[in-house]
Structure 1
Amino acid sequence: MELDSLHVLKNLTTLSLSFNKLSLLGKINSSGSFPNLTSLSLASCNLSEFPQYLQNLEKLIYLDLSFNNIHGFVPQWFLETSKETLLILDLSHNFLTGFDQSSLVLPWSRLLTLKIDSNRIQGLLPVPPFSTVSYIISNNSLTGEIPPLICNQTLLQVLDLSKNNLSGQIPECLGNMSNSL
């Protein structure tokens, strides 16, 4: 499917192409592409990299790039995508190895759900934004200890760290989250 043909749809708010037998072709570089898009589902669309046009989307609430063939680091520019609006992000079932950033906490200020399970993420556990309710990062290659900063997640209800290579002690403060977690 040629994406270039869709960029004329200026009023488009929701686009879901997931789990078809589609391969997305072409690149949209125009900063005016999809100015009103709030929901984008591209799961299982044979993507091999983060689509560049995502960096021009400022109103996304929901983004699903799961079950693709995206390899390597999550690029720095992607961490700026819809930073103030994104609520749900699914990057699961790819070949991601980590985040291309140095911040301790991921930047999306209103994020509720973050799914990055079933990738190849290495290194220390990335800390989700403090707004996060559900954080699923199982089946990766994380190492080191669970950072105590995770206990600042006062809204966290679901935390799945299973099938990693974490070590050390579980922070005591996680036990204090028994009313929500």
Structure 2
Amino acid sequence: MLGQIPSSICNLSSLLDLSLWNNSLDGKIPECIGSLSSSLSIVDLRMNNFHGKIPKHFGKGCPLHSFRISNNKIEGSLPRSLGNCKNLKLLEVGNNYLNDTFPYWLGNLDQLQVLIMRWNGFYGQVDSADIIVSFPRLRVIDLSHNSFSGYLPTNFFENLLAIKEGYGKKGKPEYMGDILQGAMWDYDYFSFTTKGLEIEFEKLLTIWTALDFSDNQFCGEIPKALGELHSLIVLNLSHNSLTGLIPSSLADLSELESLDLSSNQLHGRIPTELKNLGFLEVLNLSRNNLVGPIPQGKQFDTSTNDSYRENVGLFGLPLSKCCDNDEETPTKVDPYGDDGDGLNWKFSILMGYGCGLVLGLSMGYIVFTTGKPQWFIRVYERVGQISIKVEKRTL
């Protein structure tokens, strides 16, 4: 479909669902969309060529359940009037040219479950000591590829009750499209960067949880409060400027399947407690300053070199495995390791000294008792004669 949204759409007083996604439409989003919000519950304009700004005026009590405008060329900021849409469950504005601070006022939307703001120009801090932001039902948050800065928002994490307490996990599983009134199954299409890949979901279960803060400018340490998000499945904090240790509290994320902390400035050892993450399929700790032995056993036995590359101080399996076209890296042994490697190292050295000592004493005893061991002299003389002949031939 080509062209623009006709102005006649503003004359529709009972429009429930405006779904025009995956076309070649351009122009601006009609300002009257906000006025139609008295009846409109679904707005889906993804994957078009719309430009300009988001309509500013969404009336009080608007029944919007889903507002999706990702993959366009929309500029400006998020209109605060969207806060009037108390039933909003899904807000997707990714892959645009939006430029704004983090919209704290979205915390008033206690029905919001999915928030996707990736690939825009959002900036500033997500956390504020003056503003307490509560997202009790939020379970999918994608703020990746923006310019957010400051410390990771501890207060924000502490108020994610749906992930923290496993809200909605009990009972019959639902798909996201089933909870959006008026939406058909083929509108229930999502894409996320998870487990290192861009994955498309035709249908997204309401029990699926993800937190992606990657490719920003966050600094400081990883908050221990993240370990309280017990239902979290995907955690991506890669490509930031995070420092400090990897908190052992991450081992409490019992449902975690993907953990990406790569391309930061983390240091210290990898917590052995992470072995308890029984569902972990993807682990990426590469490009940090981690040191010491890589924990062995359980999920760590399935990882490859790519999980740990460019950590000069790390050693142990699987760094001794050949991966792709990399040359095989010899395994180092930690003489102060916690798994008995130090004892093995010392025992090997003692065995070498012991064998040498026994051999030396034996030879000394033979020389002392026989006086002049003729067999030894004959062997020595023969080797000398052979060496002289070889030198003459060479000359």
- Bucket of the pairwise TM-score, normalised by the shorter protein: 0.7 to 0.9
Cross-structure match for 2:201: none
Q: Tell me if structure 2 keeps the 8 A contact 1:84–1:109.
A: no
Corresponding letter in the other structure for 2:157: L
In the superposition, the TM-score normalised over structure 1's length comes to: 0.85
Corresponding letter in the other structure for 2:218: L
In the TM superposition, what are the counterparts of 1:25-64 in structure 2 within 5 Å?
Answer: 28-29=104-105, 33-43=108-118, 44-50=120-126, 55-64=133-142
Instruction: Give the 3-state SS of the residue equivalent to 1:71 in structure 2.
Output: strand
Q: Distance in 1 between matches of 2:113 and 2:212?
A: 14
Is 1:107 matched with 2:228? yes
Over the matched positions of the two proteins, sequence identity in percent amounts to: 28
Cross-structure match for 2:377: none
Q: Tell me if structure 2 keeps the 8 A contact 1:49–1:69.
A: no
In the TM superposition, what are the counterparts of 1:28-177 in structure 2 within 5 Å?
Answer: 28-29=104-105, 33-43=108-118, 44-50=120-126, 55-85=133-163, 87-99=209-221, 101-102=223-224, 106-127=227-248, 128=250, 129-173=253-297, 177=301
Corresponding letter in the other structure for 1:35: D
Instruction: Give the 3-state SS of the residue equivalent to 2:96 in structure 1.
Output: coil
Deviation per residue, 1:143-172 (Å, 9 max, x gap): 011011111111111000011111100112
- Cα gap change, 1:47 to 1:170, in 2 (>3 Å): same
Corresponding letter in the other structure for 1:116: L
Q: Tell me if structure 1 keeps the 8 A contact 2:280–2:299.
A: no
- Structure 1 gap segments, 5+ residues each: none
Higher helix share: 2
Deviation per residue, 1:79-107 (Å, 9 max, x gap): 2131433710000001112347456x622
Deviates more, 1:41-50 or 1:62-71: 41-50
Q: Distance in 2 between matches of 1:138 and 1:19?
A: 23
In the superposition, the TM-score normalised over structure 2's length comes to: 0.41
Q: What's the offset of the Cα at 1:14? A: 0.5
Q: What's the offset of the Cα at 1:60? A: 0.9
Q: Tell me if structure 2 keeps the 8 A contact 1:3–1:26.
A: no
- Cα gap change, 1:28 to 1:55, in 2 (>3 Å): closer
Instruction: Give the 3-state SS of the residue equivalent to 2:220 in structure 1.
Output: strand
Q: What's the offset of the Cα at 1:3? A: 3.5
Q: Tell me if structure 1 keeps the 8 A contact 2:135–2:161.
A: no
- Structure 2 gap segments, 5+ residues each: 1-76, 165-208, 308-395
- Cα gap change, 1:37 to 1:161, in 2 (>3 Å): same
- Cα gap change, 1:19 to 1:75, in 2 (>3 Å): same
